[in-house]
Structures are given as structure tokens and as C-alpha cells.
Amino acid sequence: MRILIAVMTVTMLCSGCIGTIDFYGNTLDPKPVTPFELFDENGEKFNLSMIDSDVIMVGFIHTSCLDGCDDLSMSMNETYNLLSSQEQQRVSLLTITTDPWHDDSNRLYHYKRNNSVEWPHLTVSNINSELEMIESVWASFGTSVEVSANLTDSLARCSIHLMNYTVTHTVHAVLVDVDRDVRVQWLQSEWDSESVAADIRKLSSQ
């Protein structure tokens, strides 16, 4: 009996050490984010080595998006504001465009101002040479991006530019842990700011 109790005790202790964390969002298989160097809204180079926080929340939008992109930006901002000042120091926010053909640094700069958000918004500087790289970034976050041709040119939202294509993508944010592995996905359609904040706290306490 003593042996059985000892075995059960060790098992319980070990399970506490190696057990998986229950997240409110969609739990992802941990895998490293593809290294990248993109450009922020000021045209400055940006990569993940510039961030030393425990958790990164990475959202995916494009500036002419009509289906939830502004809502995602607002949701990310709301979640951040639910954290205490000490908790905010342990998390960083990023946004990566899903329309690098249209979203240059200048457009992202104005998008940030129009939506009153402060964190970096990233794109490429040369779509011809950097498209493959940003596609690999989307893939590492599980972001599906599809480009389809329009039958007629249409005026891009908040822009004087005509666009002959439409971008559809996964409108979501992904939480990345201190090892720079993807861990949790939150779709905009399922977003609950209190629950996202709770997931951030769980990751930052690991």
C-alpha cells in the first residue's frame, strides 16, 4: 500500500510539472516563429530580437479590410488595457499586414493614427524581393492569406488607389511565449478580452 501511495504521489507531482496549460483560446502545438525582418510604420527595420517581453500578441490585418480588421485592432487594445501596469511590461503587441502589395509603411502609419493604437505595424519594403519571406511569416503563425482578382477595379477603403484584387485572410491574433513559440490563437469572431488577458497572464507566468 505504501508503495502504491508513493507511486501515485510521484505521478501527481510529475503531472503538475509536465501537464499542459489549459487556455481559453485555441491551443496550438508549440512551434518556433520563423525569423523575419520587416519594416514598421516609420520605415524602420524590425525583428523579434528587438522584443524582450515574456509574451507577444501578434495580430493580422490589412488596412483596406472590411471584415473585422478594425475590430481586431480594437480588441487587442482593449485586452492590453485590462492588464495591470506590471503585466503590461511583460507583453508586447505587434500587427503584421496581410496585404503587403498595398500596405506600405505610410499607410500603416495612418492606420495606427486612425485607430489610436501604439504598437508596431509591420510590412515589407520591397514586395518583389520580400514576398516569399512574409509568406513564410504568415505560415508560421497559421495565417491563411488568399488573393483573388476583382472583376472590376474598386477604390480601396480610405485610399485614392484603385485595386484590382481582394485579400481574404484569417482575422486573428496569436500569442507567442518567451521561447518565441506560438501557443494560443484567438479568432476575432471568438474574441473575449477578459479571456485573452487571462491567457496572457498564464503564458507570462510560465
| CATH entry, 24-204, from 3.40.50.300, 3.40.30.10, 3.30.470.20, 3.30.465.10 | 3.40.30.10
| pTM for the whole structure | 0.85
Q: Is 177:160 a contact under the CB 8 Å cutoff?
A: no
More confident residue, 5 or 156: 156
Pairing mode of beta strands 121-122, 91-97: parallel
Taking only the tens place, the pLDDT of each residue in 79-117 is 999 999 999 999 999 999 999 999 999 999 999 999 999
Q: For residue 191, what is its C-alpha cell?
A: 474574441
Q: Is 58:96 a contact under the CB 8 Å cutoff?
A: yes
Cα(51)–Cα(58) distance, integer angstroms: 12
Q: In 3-state terms, what secondary structure has residue 161?
A: coil
In this prediction, residue 2 carries a pLDDT of 45
Domain residue ranges of the chain, discontinuous segments joined by +: 24-204
